[in-house]
Structure 1
Amino acid sequence: MDRTGRGTGMSVAFRRESDDEHLEPKFELPIPPGPNLVTARGLALIGAKVAELESRLLTLTEEDAIKAARRDLRYWLTRQATAQPVARPDGSHVAFGCTVTFRMNGKTRTVTIVGDDEADPAAGLLSFSAPLSRAMMDAEVGELVDFSGKPEAIEIVAIEVGEG
């Protein structure tokens, strides 16, 4: 720079043509690894999400909102196309779709084992791919299972099968 603070012919390679070139790139929504197992309820929720996004796209006029909605729709269409509905379990052992009551660290909790997109741990819906679900899979009522490096850390108290 000269004494006036002006540039002295900086190379074009160091100048920005526009601020758009430096916006965060827009990535696709990540697809969870592994099979896309779903309960009947989970499959219905995916279908409802696709319908909602298709309807919303018809009303949008702002380009960024349209792009975001299309990205979301691509995710949900992929999840719908790859969904693998799982037959209703019989309740004889912990399986996908079961509601399991268990005791761990002196506390009794209940979770329902569902697909990745249906999971909501705060609501007691735990993904089948979660470590806790994987630890309990195939266990029967009264069985003690290892978890997080601790032998017999979980006691299976009850197994229920809902309508879904």
Structure 2
Amino acid sequence: MSRAFVNEDNAAAQADQPVERQVSAQPNYVTPAGLAQLQVKLAEVQNLLNEQSAKGELADKQRQADLERDWRYFNQRLQSAQLVVPASSTDKVQIGAWVTFADEQGNEQRVQLVGEDQADAASGLINWGSPLGRALLGAQVGDEVLWKRPAGDWVIEVLSIEIG
């Protein structure tokens, strides 16, 4: 198509629209702490959106569009949240449980399986649907499980399970 037929105003407006945040296809299991975090985040975004709206014509339109996108995302995540009741048993690894495991070199690591939005690997909070989370889910103390990692598969041994 010739550039003469392109509506530059429409093209510019479409370029300014924020890309929607991706929502995974896995079930949205959340721990009680994860549910509370989602509620707080949605409230924060709503407050920021209200502040932008109150500015009327002086509002930062791009910031407002970004906040609206984030509001849609967190609202959808909150609506689809499936609260996982904390485990009452340490017989097997469940969402919300803290797990200590050792790798093939004997290095120990402690992680908690949590929902996608609560995950923070630096804090030891691992998404239950991640390769490590899937390897640990359902395992029992003493089990050796295969952790399928992009850098190569590892066999890890579950050393302990604690209620979150």
Q: Which letter maps to 2:137?
A: M
Larger radius of gyration: 1
Q: Which letter maps to 2:2?
A: A
User: Partner residue of 1:4?
Assistant: none
Structure 1 residue runs of 5 or longer lacking an equivalent are 1-11
What does the per-residue CA deviation read over 1:76-100, in whole Å, with 9 as the maximum and x for residues that have no partner? Answer: 0000000000111122111111010
Matched, 1:21 2:19: no
Structure with the larger strand share? 1
Q: TM-score normalized by structure 2?
A: 0.83
CA distance in 1, matches of 2:158, 2:48: 44
| Contact 2:113–2:125 under 8 Å retained in 1 | yes
| Contact 1:37–1:86 under 8 Å retained in 2 | yes
What does the per-residue CA deviation read over 1:51-102, in whole Å, with 9 as the maximum and x for residues that have no partner? Answer: 1011111111211111110100000000000000011112211111101000
Structure with the larger helix share? 2
Matched, 1:40 2:6: no
| Contact 1:96–1:128 under 8 Å retained in 2 | yes
User: Partner residue of 1:67?
Assistant: 65
Matches within 5 A, 1:1-164: 13-15=2-4, 17-18=7-8, 21=11, 23=15, 26-60=18-52, 61-89=59-87, 90-106=89-105, 107-148=107-148, 153-162=155-164
User: Partner residue of 1:5?
Assistant: none
Q: TM-score normalized by structure 1?
A: 0.83
Runs of 4+ deviating beyond 3 Å: 15-20, 149-152
Aligned length: 151
Q: Which letter maps to 1:129?
A: G
